[in-house]
Structure 1
Amino acid sequence: MDALPDTIDALRAALIEARGRTAVAEADAAQARAERSGDQALIATLKLQIEKLQRDLYGRRSERTSRLLGQLEFQLEEAEASSSEDDLAAEQAAKATGQIGPTRKVPTRKPFPAHLPRERIIIPAPTVCPCCGSTRLCKLGESITETAERIPARWKIIQTVREKFSCRDCETISQPPAPFHTTPRGWAGPNLLATLLFEKFGQHQPLNRQCERFAKEGMEISLSTAADQVGAACRVLKPLIDRLEAHVLAANRLHGDDTTVPVLAKGKTDTGRIWVYVRDDRPFGGEAAPAALFRYSRDRGGGHPEAHLAGWAGVLQADAYAGYNRLCDASRQPQPVAEALCWAHARRKFFELADIAANKRRGKAAPPISPLALEAVRRIDPLFDIERETLGRSAADRLALRAERSKPLLDELEGWMRAARAGMSKHAPVAKAMDYMLTRWDGFTRFLRDGRVCLTNNSAERALRGIALGRRAWLFCGSDRGGQRAAAMYSLIVSAKMNDIDPQAWLADVLARINDLPQTRLDELLPWEWKRLHQTTTAA
């Protein structure tokens, strides 16, 4: 061990030197942590990109793909946040020692949208040269740094003044007519009404939470007043909902599905149903705009879809729910509905019996993996790969490709399933999964006879996703009337999303104009027509 200095000055110098070495070591350690965090963020980014590319190239490899992508995105978010935090710590440590800070390569930021307004803040330029003090300066150019900023919600009260005049000759008093109000008593403007509706039904924020936020922003609105405006706005939008329903039911092919909704009852909560019927012709290159029609019922009786689709005939894509059977009855008027069943539902029954990862999580209580179920999944997956190649093609092209490549696979699948099923007990889980398909084989193979039919019912499931995600936020419908109102608003909001427009901006414009438009022009407010007219006006 080196001898310690024997004088105070020498000790002071040694202490300063040791502190310097400690600071350098801390700066190096901070930079190492920043580099490690940057590497972890890069790894997370590349993992997410690889998974997305594999999904695009080879299709969904398992039912866990969507969960895996969500997990990877969350890991990327955490890694990027940790990397930025460590970078700042390393920069501060490097400044203290005079070292060069970390040089982590960050992703290139995309330019800000051109349509957003720009606010110029000009920093005053020097009036004299900082080098020689001369005042003879000439401008060479400018450097612009853009920063995104969000302006919090602002409230304002619009005063509409109607002046009165009296005629000096005949003493008649004249005054301009009262302005149009979206709802009776008209204290809420169209943008406020659109916010109430979209937050409640599109973002699943109950009115009491919205009113709490409004109060913090300086505008107190009682819950009963907000609810009154929601009911009035729904009534105003009723003619548009009727036109949306007519558009959906004019299709020759629909996707159908339903999900549960809690409904408040006396001293308890009942389970109601939200039904959806989706018109989406995009998979076979159809020109009709996509749209969704929602309906509410207190139970899941088969009479509800029969009433919803009374007078409609065509192909209904859905799961094998017995409540649709009366729609397919040969005696139905005007004619029976053709049934097209969902292969995603059928595959899931096999996948659950062959999910190795899920069994590993369950441990000793897990049922044994079924080799037959695993083989069924292996035989079904190529059908999905072929179907992805048909997206966007015409119905005739889809039909030709399916006849060439999908039909031989289906014939082999059917023969293998019937041979395997013959040697099993009817109580075997994999036998039940096979029976689900074999007893309904005509519905599962309808896509071979009609190029418009899709392999899955995912369009309807996507339309219901928002309800499933929002149930924990709004807890329950207050009544059957509330369920019907919710279904009507879901029809509008989901249809707007399917047409790639902002539902809140669209609702605000619709509410501002709907009572002024003649009935013959109401179609202009439908989401796809509104989008087309808006794009035409913007281009002009």
Structure 2
Amino acid sequence: MPRVLPLDHFCPWREEAEELRERMTSLESKMAALERRVFGRNAEKLPPVASELRGASPSPEEETARATAALAKRQKRAARKAEEAPTREVRHVVPPEARHCPTYGSEDLKPLGTGRTSVMYEYVPAFFERQVHVQEVLACACGQGVVTAPAPVRVVDRGEYGPGFLAHVVTSKCADAMPLHRLAQRVERGGVPMHRSTLTDLFHQSASVLQPLSRHLLQVIAASEVVWADETPMRVLDVKKTKQGYLWTFLTQTPKGEWLIGYRFSLGRASTTPNDVLGGTRGALVVDAYTGYNAVTLPEGRVRVGCWAHVRRRFFDALPTAPEAREALDFILALYRVEAQARDAGLVRTDAHRELRQQKSAPVLAGLRAWMEEQTPLHPPKGPLGQALSYARKQWDALTRFVRDARLPLDNNRSESALRKATLGRKNFLFVGHEAAGENLAGLYALVATCEAHGVNPEDYLADVLLRVQTHPNARIGELLPHEWKRLRATSAS
């Protein structure tokens, strides 16, 4: 009679099999993600929420209405841009040999109306000029009294480059992501002898002059009730190889709906930077699950608000090995559908928006929570769906705070968008020279990004404030921030 082994005898083998199953699931998910990235179609990437809200197959009437609205929006924008474009009238006269009546040959011709008008856009090459400033000197007949005209205002004492030139350098690098060596070539083509090192000096001089503004911008953001934050790597040049630095963004939205965007550079990803910027402040902080922000969140600091975009991305990555993750994506899409409804009705950040969330978003969250509790025991903790479930459950309190406060967003996409310009620059100029250079770049990024958020031409703004910031009262330095500067310019123009 064969000996029957106790069940406990097989436990080590069962544990090993379970561990191998988890590893196999994880490897399958990584392989599927790699294949999708390398060989997959673009449609296999995480689709934007807006495209999913529109639906895969709208009706012909909806498609026609959508196309009509999009066309009207483009035409309105084009008309506004055309009105803002510099305009020069070019007169075309009838040549002398044609100034006679084609029927009777009479030369007694008179203007008919204002003429025929047509529009043509032309490129007028930009140019640099070498300005020679001559100061008038007057002398009295007594031979002692001498009066000299005031010298031109300069950004830097005895500097050879004007504020417009410096504004162009900063805008080219921060807004257009152009490396300074490439800009030096363009300046040379414009007739100005230039070396990259000179442009580097001008860039850092501009950052030094504008430092009070960029610092005050961060202070205004830190004092706001709701702040978004994120970070991205940026390499720093070193002796033998580059080292890792980080560019952090902090942004907020004013009660008037104006976006203020700030940046800070650091050589590490620790909590030192969030603590320097937001330490001691109160309100809400919209971030992902990175623990570096713990130093400024509960219990003593800001209330942490989670990001549903990060949760959605994790469930999407789990789809190849766990098709049931589609249910979680449908729940999350329902949350965004409520936000789209509030946006279409003009209710965003109002009490009605909060009530709408409590009526429609809260039941969706309850359904998603129940589904996660049901699915958690069915999937290995280290598998793709198990990790997505664990991430959402650990962040649940932070993810659901938006229901009780209409000011809180559903995700942290705004801060990720604020880092895209820096990501493009990182691809073009690869690294910053040293820590101080990274800090200067962050300060100028902040002013340029805030200008673009308000439709302000960065070159016009920087050329003006580079001179004004040095004599402007420090107690009223906020008047020179891009959104206030735009408001003052509009007031003075009217």
Decide: shared fold, TM above 0.5: yes
Q: Output the CA distance in 2 between the equivalents of 1:488 and 1:497.
A: 15
Q: What corresponds to 1:371 in structure 2?
A: 323
Structure 2 residue matching 1:394: 3-state secondary structure: coil
Structure 2 partner of 1:179? 152
Partner Cα separation in structure 1 for residue 492 and residue 92 of structure 2 = 33
Q: Which residue of 2 aligns with 1:388?
A: 340
Instruction: Give the whole-Å Cα distance in 2 for the aligned partners of 1:191 and 1:296.
Output: 26
- Report how far residue 520 of structure 1 moved: 4.3
Task: Tell me how far 1:288 sits from its aligned partner.
Answer: 5.9
The aligned counterpart of 1:130 is 102
One-letter amino acid of the structure 2 residue matched with residue 132 of structure 1: Y
1:481 aligned partner: 436
Residues 109 and 409 (structure 1), Cα distance of their counterparts in 2 relative to 1, 3 Å cut: closer
2:247 paired residue number: 274
Residues 372-521 of structure 1: pairs in structure 2 closer than 5 A: 372-391=324-343, 393-521=348-476
Structure 1 segment 48-197 matched on structure 2, within 5 A: 59=53, 113-115=82-84, 116-125=86-95, 126-141=98-113, 142-169=115-142, 171-197=144-170
Asked if structure 1 preserves the Cα contact closer than 8 Å seen for 2:280 and 2:301, the reply is no
Identify the residue that residue 339 of structure 1 maps to in structure 2: 304
Aligned to 1:426, the other structure's residue is in SS state: coil
TM-score normalised to structure 1 length: 0.74
How far apart in 1 are the matches of 2:104 and 2:125? 46
**Does the 8 Å CA contact 1:183/1:229 hold for their aligned counterparts?**
no
Aligned to 2:211: 238
Shift of 1:145: 1.9
What does the per-residue CA deviation read over 1:184-206, in whole Å, with 9 as the maximum and x for residues that have no partner?
32211111110000111221111
Over 3 Å counting, the alpha-carbon distance change for 1:326 and 1:147 in structure 2 is same
Deviation, structure 1 residue 302:
2.3
The one-character-per-residue Cα deviations of 1:56-102 (angstroms, maximum 9, x if unpaired) are 6863769xxxxxxxxxxxxxxxxxxxxxxxxxxxxxxxxxxxxxxxx
1:226 to 199, 220, 229: 199
| Compared CA separation, residues 407 and 205, structure 1 to 2 (3 A) | same
Counterparts of 2:323 and 2:99, CA distance in 1 = 83
Give the Å deviation of 1:117.
2.1
**Residue of 175, 182, 199 corresponding to 1:202:** 175
Instruction: Quote the Cα distance in structure 2 between the aligned partners of 1:307 and 1:162.
Output: 48
Tell me the distance in 2 between the aligned counterparts of 1:467 and 1:397.
37
Distance 1:58-1:472 versus aligned 2 partners, 3 A rule: closer
Question: Cα offset for 1:134?
Answer: 1.9
Any gaps of 5 or more consecutive residues in structure 1? 1-53, 63-106, 355-367
Aligned mates of 1:222, 1:202 — CA distance in 2: 21
SS at match of 1:118: coil
Which secondary structure does the structure 2 equivalent of 1:375 belong to? helix
Shift of 1:178: 2.7
| 1:352 alignment counterpart | 317
C-alpha separation in 2, matches of 1:252 and 1:227: 37
User: What's the TM-score once normalised by structure 2's chain length?
Assistant: 0.80
- Is contact 2:218–2:250 with CA below 8 Å preserved after alignment? no
Given that 1:58 and 1:385 are in contact with CA atoms closer than 8 Å, whether structure 2 keeps it comes out as: no
User: In structure 2, the residue corresponding to 1:517 is in which secondary structure?
Assistant: coil
Calculate the aligned-residue CA RMSD, in Å: 2.3
CA contact under 8 A between 2:237 and 2:433: conserved in structure 1? yes
SS at match of 2:231: strand
Q: Measure, in 2, the Cα distance between the counterparts of 1:398 and 1:109.
A: 29
Question: Which residue is equivalent to 1:536?
Answer: 491
Distance change (3 Å), C-alpha of 1:341 and 1:136: same
| Kept in 2: contact 1:350–1:433 (CA 8 A) | yes
- State the shift of 1:114 in Å: 2.9
Larger radius of gyration: 1
Instruction: Assess if the C-alpha contact under 8 Å between 2:288 and 2:310 holds in 1.
Output: yes
2:281 matched residue in structure 1: 312
**Which is further off, 266-275 or 109-118?**
109-118
Deviations 1:424-470 (A, max 9, x none): 32222201100101122111111112221100001101110111122
Cα distance in 2 for partners of 1:267, 1:57 equals: 46
What is the letter of the counterpart of residue 235 of structure 1? S
Q: Shift in Å at residue 387 of structure 1? A: 1.3
Q: Distance in 1 between matches of 2:214 and 2:365?
A: 41
Runs of 4+ in 1 over 4 A off after TM superposition: 54-58, 107-112
Partner residue of 2:232?
Answer: 259
Structure 1 segment 278-289 matched on structure 2, within 5 A:
278-281=251-254, 286-287=255-256, 289=258
Deviations 1:498-522 (A, max 9, x none): 1121122211121243334333443
Q: What does the per-residue CA deviation read over 1:283-333, in whole Å, with 9 as the maximum and x for residues that have no partner?
A: xxx226321111111121123222221222211000000112222353xxx
- What amino acid sits opposite 1:130 in the alignment? P
Is residue 298 from structure 1 mapped to residue 272 from structure 2 by the alignment?
A: no
The gaps in structure 2 that reach 5 residues or longer are 1-47, 57-74
- Contact 1:55-1:61 at 8 Å conserved across structures: no
Hey, what does 2:20 align to over in structure 1? none
State which drifts further: 320-329 or 386-395. Answer: 386-395
Identity %: 32
CA distance in 1, matches of 2:257, 2:106: 70
What SS does the corresponding residue of 1:422 show, helix, strand or coil? helix
Tell me the CA shift for residue 211 of structure 1. Answer: 0.8
- Cα offset for 1:372? 2.0
Amino acid at match of 1:399: R
What is residue 71 of structure 1 aligned with on the other side? none
Distance 1:210 1:437, change over 3 A: same
> What secondary structure is seen at the aligned counterpart in 1 of 2:301?
coil
